Amino acid sequence: MTSRWRKNADALARLVRNHEGPLTRELVRKPGRFGLGQVPSRLAPDAVAHAVCGYCSTGCGLKLHLRDGEACNVTPDPDYPVNRGMACPKGWEVLSPLDADDRATHPMVRDADGHLVRTSWPEAMRRFVDGVRSVQQAHGDAAFAFLGTGQMPTEELAFFGALSKFGLGMVHGDGNTRQCMATAVQAYKESFGFDAPPYSYQDFEESDVLVLVGSNLCIAHPILWERVCRNPHDPDIIVIDPRRTETAEAATQHVPLRPKSDLTLFYGLAQALIERGCVDRDFVAAHTAGFDAFADFVSAFDEARVVAESGIDAPAFRRLVETIAQGERVSFWWTMGVNQSHEGVRVAQALIDLALMTGNIGRPGTGANSVTGQCNAMGSRLFSNTTNLLGGRDFTCDSDRADVARILDIPVDRIPDERSLAYDEILEGVREGRIRGLWIVATNSAHSWIDQNDFRSLREKLDFLVVQDMYASTETAEMADLVLPAAGWGEKEGTFINSERRIGRIRKVRRAPGEALADFQIFRLVANAAGLDDLFERWKTPEDVFDLMRALSRDRPCDLSGIEDYRMLEASGGMQWPVPESATRDGARPEQERRLFADGGFFHTDGRARFVFEAPRPVAEPTDDAYPFVLLTGRGSSAQWHTETRTGKSATLRKLAPSESQLEIHPDDAIACGIEPGGLVAVASRRDRLVVRARVTTVVPRGAVFLAMHDARTNRLTYASFDPYSHQPSYKHAAVRIESVTDAG
């Protein structure tokens, strides 16, 4: 091990010397083993390292330019198959947030006076283990739960989930992917038999009709939009969104449907396509089940009903039908406008139904394609060990548990035989006193969860709250009893899985500040402090865990077993699952861009995809005379990321983002409410009221207003309702009232 970067490690060694124990002895003797104060010696000091970006699920390849062994600059990788030399502002600025002043640099514990004060790692670990054990002893093992993320490497997610459940005896754990992808997961599982987004980004370039539903690609996935712009077929681009977003503006057709009327629209679309004879009968007969019942069901959705319920006029609806009917390679793409809905699973499945019935799947430029959100949402779906058992398995299935026990070489009774509660159910457990402790890692729940006033009221019901984050200043860290300082992207090793199922590598090219440790190393410390070294004997490095993931995925739809090591990944420009061993035998390599279902075979045991459908349901909080507007929320700009703990620390990104949050409101509504452009306006729901500047614009339709989620106040207004199948929060519908306020008010 190189000793060049020992300064921090020596400081730590001094700090922990007084707390001799098995854990601290190793930290003191071999701090490098925990990655402390070091960047990998394998990289030449002035080399260029390659890594995928740490923000969105596009997964752009970046070149990290090193000086004296540490990254000092970033450029997009021209050879990476995803972005081909492009990056959005967040990618260019990915290093800046690492240098922020408010990084968590040492563990902190809440003292008797209620202040968070600095402590040592050994003491932090003691507190951690005591805190977990005392809750579990008093209230049972299941009384401690965890909330994770789609923003850590898969190796860390797998370790976190395995440690919590198989090691510490927790039963319930979920993550921020519940807020994001749960709907797509559920939809794919029911329709295809496995959670498998079928596409490759090449499909953006090969379609002749692209249908983007509830997806503001220009803002949220700018480089995917660039891929659309490279499409040489002069495609029709249809954006289905109540707002005239940047993406809608750039499209060839904007379908401004009424919020939450998607299901009626898509069933009506299916009915119109059936009437026109657009069904691919051969495909439907050979590869699907349930079409006749579906056709029968949608016959009630005629044009008049679509027009009445969605607010789209008849000519616009006919043009939509016509465009799709004439398309030879039609692709359907959806994001949060679909997933974050009270009936999102059925809406996603309506898009899958449309693709299946028209035979638009498995061929170039087609598909029913969920665009993921966070850099590793896909990794968390497969390996976070939360609601699915590792590798997309089922906790309640005896043979699945036996497989995992055998592969990991652990006793099978270490694996819970019940399904984990979802995020919302875990919080209900807190409310009812069944869950008394939470370990929150890499998600800022106290900003991002729906209905914040309610969320915050639950804090006092927790006996012990641990928050593990890069920053000590997040809304959630400030509520914690114990804060564990984590290294971030760029300060650790591992892999992410992007939207098109591509596994890409991230690299350690920076020292983490102070005593912050990679989450992986924190999990090792926890395992050690809890006396679980034997159980996690094989989990020493991220690459060890990658090997376990290969074994866990063998012969499953998400097979990674053919990826021999990280080097193979890097040399191939990332690899899309599945990569079975046969695909890389004797030096062979799979094609660089691949889609699923080319052979029409789906993952249900009979090989057939299912048509799934259900009658539309009313929203949970409809508008009325007192609260006449629909509040929509979402991404504000390409320079802002979620709760802004990272992007808010880049001066460049701050300049690219609005200087304060603004309420988008239609000019007619502004006039009716007496609101001036740029004036202050109060937005009130039944839960709270906040004052913001008005942005008077036709981006939003009459009757709806929009607030970006980046403002911590936005979720004080949202209404906590959920899709019943996916438990995903419906962030994009709450009833609000608008009032003008004077500048003094």
Question: In angstroms, how far is CA 313 from the centroid of its own chain?
Answer: 35
377 counts as binding ligand SF4 under rule CB under 6 A = no
Q: Which of 69, 290, 367, 373 touches Mo ion (CB under 5 A)? A: 373
Q: Which of 202, 216, 271, 721 touches ligand MGD (CB under 6 A)? A: 216
Spatial separation of the C-alpha atoms in residues 130 and 143, rounded to whole Å: 14
Residues in 199-238 at the binding interface with ligand SF4, rule: CB under 6 A: 221-223
642 counts as binding ligand MGD under rule CB under 6 A = yes
Residue whose CB is less far from ligand MGD, 294 or 731: 731
Q: What does DSSP assign to residue 54?
A: S
CB of 731 to ligand MGD, least distance (A): 4
Task: Map 246-308 to HEC letters.
Answer: HHHHHCCEEECCCCCCHHHHHHHHHHHHHHCCCCCHHHHHHHEECHHHHHHHHCCCCHHHHHH
- Contacts of residue 484, defined as CB under 8 A and 6 or more positions apart, other chains included, come to 104, 107, 124, 128, 466, 467, 468, 469, 522
575 counts as binding ligand SF4 under rule CB under 6 A = no
Q: What does 322-380 look like in DSSP terms, one character per residue?
A: HHHHH-SSEEEEE-HHHHSSTTHHHHHHHHHHHHHHTT-SSSTT-EEEE---BTTHHHH
Select the binding partner of residue 732 from Mo ion, ligand SF4, ligand MGD, none (C-beta < 5 to 8 A, by kind). Answer: ligand MGD
Residue whose CB is less far from Mo ion, 27 or 707: 707
Residue whose CB is less far from ligand SF4, 393 or 492: 492
Bond before 198 cis per omega within 30 degrees: no
The residue number whose beta carbon is nearest to ligand SF4 equals 91
Q: Which of 52, 209, 482, 486 touches ligand MGD (CB under 6 A)? A: 486
CB of 721 to ligand MGD, least distance (A): 13
Residue whose CB is less far from ligand SF4, 51 or 465: 51
Q: Which of 190, 400, 425, 469 touches ligand MGD (CB under 6 A)? A: 469
719 with 733: CB under 8 angstroms? yes
Select the binding partner of residue 215 from ligand SF4, ligand MGD, Mo ion, none (C-beta < 5 to 8 A, by kind). Answer: ligand MGD
43 with 500: CB under 8 angstroms? no
Burial of 604 (0-12, 13-18, 19+ CB in 10 A): middle
Q: Which of 384, 495, 584, 633 touches ligand MGD (CB under 6 A)? A: 633
Q: What separation in angstroms does the CA of 58 have from each of 83, 152, 496, 558, 574?
A: 8, 15, 11, 19, 12
56 counts as binding ligand SF4 under rule CB under 6 A = yes
Q: Which two tokens stand for residue 292?
A: 């006749």
> Strand, coil or helix: what is 502?
strand
37 counts as binding ligand SF4 under rule CB under 6 A = no
Task: Map 681-697 to HEC letters.
Answer: EEEECCCCEEEEEEEEC
Closest-CA residue to 235 (of 365, 367, 83, 369): 365
Q: Which of 36, 251, 410, 442 touches ligand MGD (CB under 6 A)? A: 442
Q: Which two tokens stand for residue 230?
A: 């490279």
260 counts as binding ligand MGD under rule CB under 6 A = yes
378 counts as binding Mo ion under rule CB under 5 A = no
735 with 183: CB under 8 angstroms? no
CB of 256 to ligand MGD, least distance (A): 9
Select the binding partner of residue 91 from Mo ion, ligand SF4, ligand MGD, none (C-beta < 5 to 8 A, by kind). Answer: ligand SF4
Q: How many CA atoms lie within 13 A of 468 on its CB side?
A: 29
Of the listed pieces 13-21, 80-88, 268-276, 561-569, which binds ligand SF4 according to CB under 6 A?
80-88
Residue whose CB is less far from ligand MGD, 254 or 594: 254
55 counts as binding ligand SF4 under rule CB under 6 A = yes
Binding region for ligand MGD (CB under 6 A): 56, 149, 151-152, 176, 179-180, 213-216, 219-221, 240-243, 245, 259-260, 262, 335-337, 340-341, 373-374, 441-445, 447-448, 468-471, 474, 486, 488-489, 519, 632-635, 638, 640-643, 645-646, 709, 714-715, 718, 731-732
Binding region for Mo ion (CB under 5 A): 180, 373
